[in-house]
Amino acid sequence: MTTNSPFGRTLCAMVTPFTGSGALDLDGAQRLADRLVSAGCDGLVLSGTTGESPTTSDAEKAELVAAVRESVGDRASIVTGVGTSDTRHTLELTEAAEKAGADGVLVVSPYYSRPPQDALEAHFREVADASGLPVMLYDIPGRTGTRIEPETVLRLAEHPRIVAVKDCSYDFLGAQKVLARTGVAYYAGCDEHNLALYAVGGAGYVSTVANIVPDRLRAVLDAFDAGDTAEAARLQQRATELVESVMSSGLPGTVTVKALLNDLGLPSGPVRAPLRPADRDTVGGLRAVYERLVA
């Protein structure tokens, strides 16, 4: 079992529930957060990609942290997304996250402007200096257009508050390189890597699919920690069909997860534009895959 999991092992990249009219649903967020923690999540990541951070306001982000903190208390860590394409704005969100009660911040690479590595490093250092909160870097070049190169992470690891990476780089060698040379905690940001990264010393995962089956994903790591690696592999493989359906259907994971949560009668609500809801056939297919997994 890894000893370096600053935010826990089993983190859910939680959706942001909205009402039917598209307003922030704080009651729904509290009920969903409670369900996730009760079912095995020891951390929640709010206002990330799955949480539709580009379409929620600064005030909504802070309100969400405060509401979820009220719901889960000290039963789970709360990490909230503060990354934007503007360093000044990111610093403001970081300060607001600390005031709202977050335990840490998730900071994605500034997107669109595609800063070079020295500018990227300076950005992350400024954020880490802006509050007393620990920082989880979010490396997802497929969305941002900019990789946080392993050499950059190695330098940033020297900062006492840069403690973790959510890894969506699909560079397994790069992750292991940093793990071997630093104390930075690596969290799988792609559900198909949950077990693989954990097995080489990763801290756990930040999972979109955990919105649906938090207990099934936790069971994978629990089996590994118990020394039953064959069972861990079996459970990971059993979840693969749902992971593929949610994350590789041609739709954003936010859309597929919210569609399935709505179909299951769980707090979710609509997505905000420019995203659009999944069609009925897609929802039916997702539900069928879900039923096969939990049967």
* Residue ranges per structural domain of the chain: 10-226
Catalytic residue among 138, 186, 198, 290: 138
The closest alpha carbon to 11, from 102, 72, 105, 77, belongs to 77
Q: Whole-angstrom Cα distance, residue 4 to residue 203?
A: 6
Active site residue 258: no
Q: Which residue has the tokens 């539900």?
A: 287
Burial 238-274 (b: 16+ CB within 10 A, else e): ebeebbebbbebebbbbbbbbbbbbbeebbbbbbeee
- 2, pLDDT greater than 60: no
10-226 CATH, one of 1.20.1250.20, 3.40.50.1000, 3.20.20.70, 3.40.1160.10: 3.20.20.70
**What CA–CA distances, in Å, run from 90 to 4, 96, 106, 125?**
26, 10, 10, 12
pLDDT, residue 55, reads 97
Q: Would you place residue 3 in the very low, low, confident or very high pLDDT band (cuts 50, 70, 90)?
A: low
Catalytic residue among 166, 186, 198, 205: 166
pLDDT, residue 4, reads 81
Q: How many angstroms separate the first and last alpha carbons of the chain?
A: 29
Active site residue 166: yes
pLDDT, residue 1, reads 39
Length of the chain in residues, anyone? 295
Q: Which residue has the tokens 């000893």?
A: 3
- 78, pLDDT greater than 50: yes
> Beta partners for 139?
167
Q: Mean pLDDT across the stretch 242-257?
A: 96
Q: Whole-angstrom Cα distance, residue 239 to residue 192?
A: 9
Burial label, 226 (beta-carbon count in 10 A; 0-12, 13-18, 19+) = exposed
User: How confident is the model over 112-141, as pLDDT tens digits?
Assistant: 999 999 999 999 999 999 999 999 999 999
- 218, pLDDT greater than 50: yes
The closest alpha carbon to 3, from 179, 176, 177, belongs to 179
User: How confident is the model over 27-55, as pLDDT tens digits?
Assistant: 999 999 999 999 999 999 999 999 999 99
Token pair for 239: 């979840």
- 160, pLDDT greater than 80: yes
